[in-house]
Structure 1
């Protein structure tokens, strides 16, 4: 199971939507507070790129003592159509400052020093300290997960449905859709069936994968196990 710090770090480095929550009443549209780019710096700080005239840059520029307390809220939605599509949320609170002279003209790099973080996802909830966030690594499949899930759903739907055999009687007659993928395994959401239930089943790989080549082997082993009952 990935740690709360790893799951949070993965969300930050994913393509999930993010919005910066500023203190006080700011009459701005939500899209004005969505960073154009985000990444994690060498010391575990979150780096955000905004237009130079954005409300976030103005607020950070005029903050008392040069630091603005903010929260970065990240919302992750499954890239395939399933019931209950929101997979996870994370909240990263800390202090925002401007980093001048780094971003391209018309843009400003903002540095979010992490105070604490909280994640609420398919694994559960967890608090993350700054040191744990800084030392954690994003899941190696984060860059490809959305495309891989869409490919599994569109091109390997029959094989995914065969996983019902490994999920037991409760999966009989249900619709099976791959909903999450990481280095430890595949999560499938089952819906419909006699009781019209919606539930997830987790299918762990024999060992964690490190790259796409390892994932291909792991998926082949998983589908072989399902085919053999």
Structure 2
């Protein structure tokens, strides 16, 4: 399974929505707290892009030294229609400063020095050391995951349902009379997580691991083909 640090790094580099919370700072519109770009530097600090006239930027430029604390909250929502769509949240707390001269005109880059990190997702809730986050590598499928899940759901729904044959003791739930839908809810280099939904209400997750970790979409296609073949035997 991916480590907590890898999962957090993947969320940082994903397109999941994020909001930067600064104690005592109030805004008119919530989207004023949402960075339009984010990246991680070699030392593990986050770099967040905002309009130069953003309330967050004003607060950071007025702060002295590292006195301004902030928390970046990232929310991961499944890109397919499924019950309980929030897949996880990551929280990165630290100290916020402005980085002049880096962004384009009319923009400002803010640096969040990483202090405390945690992730609460489909794998569980864990704390992450800043050094672990710095050294972690994002999942290689992160930029394609949403598109891949949507494609599996739309074009391969019948094959997804056949995966219930691999459920072992829960295989009986795959019978047609149960009205069971199989929705691909998460994907990483180690495997596929499927949410089985019975009659549109009750649901449970099952994890189908690949024989070997995949490194790209080409290897993923072969892994999925092997998975569907195993389910059809």
**Same fold at TM > 0.5:** yes
Q: Does structure 2 retain, via aligned residues, the 8 Å contact 1:60–1:66? A: no
Aligned residues: 227
Whole-Å separation in 1 of the counterparts to 2:119 and 2:71: 13
- Residue aligned with 2:187, SS: strand
Aligned residue number for residue 206 of structure 1: 211
Aligned residue number for residue 175 of structure 1: 181
Whole-Å separation in 2 of the counterparts to 1:72 and 1:92: 5
Deviation at 1:213, TM superposition (A): 1.1
- Residue aligned with 2:230, SS: helix
Deviation at 1:14, TM superposition (A): 0.3
Aligned residue number for residue 15 of structure 2: 15
2:154 aligned with 1:154, yes or no? yes
Q: Which runs of 5+ in 2 are unaligned?
A: none
Q: Does structure 2 retain, via aligned residues, the 8 Å contact 1:89–1:120? A: yes
Q: Which runs of 5+ in 1 are unaligned?
A: none
Q: Does structure 1 retain, via aligned residues, the 8 Å contact 2:20–2:34? A: yes
Deviations 1:90-139 (A, max 9, x none): 11001111111111000001111100111000000100111000000000
Whole-Å separation in 2 of the counterparts to 1:27 and 1:43: 30
Whole-Å separation in 1 of the counterparts to 2:48 and 2:210: 34
Q: Does structure 2 retain, via aligned residues, the 8 Å contact 1:28–1:55? A: no
- Residue aligned with 1:165, SS: helix
- Residue aligned with 1:87, SS: strand
Q: How does 1:104-115 map onto structure 2 within 5 Å?
A: 104-115=104-115
Whole-Å separation in 2 of the counterparts to 1:64 and 1:157: 55
Q: Does structure 1 retain, via aligned residues, the 8 Å contact 2:159–2:228? A: yes
Task: Choose from 209, 219, 225 the match for 2:224.
Answer: 219
Choose 19-28 or 182-191, whichever is displaced more: 19-28
The TM-score with structure 1 as length reference comes to 0.96
Q: Does structure 1 retain, via aligned residues, the 8 Å contact 2:6–2:137? A: yes
Q: Does structure 1 retain, via aligned residues, the 8 Å contact 2:87–2:122? A: yes
Q: Does structure 1 retain, via aligned residues, the 8 Å contact 2:4–2:126? A: yes
Aligned residue number for residue 74 of structure 1: 74
Whole-Å separation in 1 of the counterparts to 2:111 and 2:24: 20
The TM-score with structure 2 as length reference comes to 0.94
Deviation at 1:187, TM superposition (A): 0.4
Could you say what the CA RMSD is over the residues aligned between the two structures, in angstroms? 1.3
Whole-Å separation in 1 of the counterparts to 2:202 and 2:214: 31
Q: Does structure 1 retain, via aligned residues, the 8 Å contact 2:18–2:35? A: yes
Deviation at 1:27, TM superposition (A): 3.5
Q: Does structure 1 retain, via aligned residues, the 8 Å contact 2:4–2:128? A: yes
- Residue aligned with 2:147, SS: helix
Whole-Å separation in 2 of the counterparts to 1:59 and 1:44: 22
Deviation at 1:200, TM superposition (A): 0.3
Aligned residue number for residue 127 of structure 2: 127
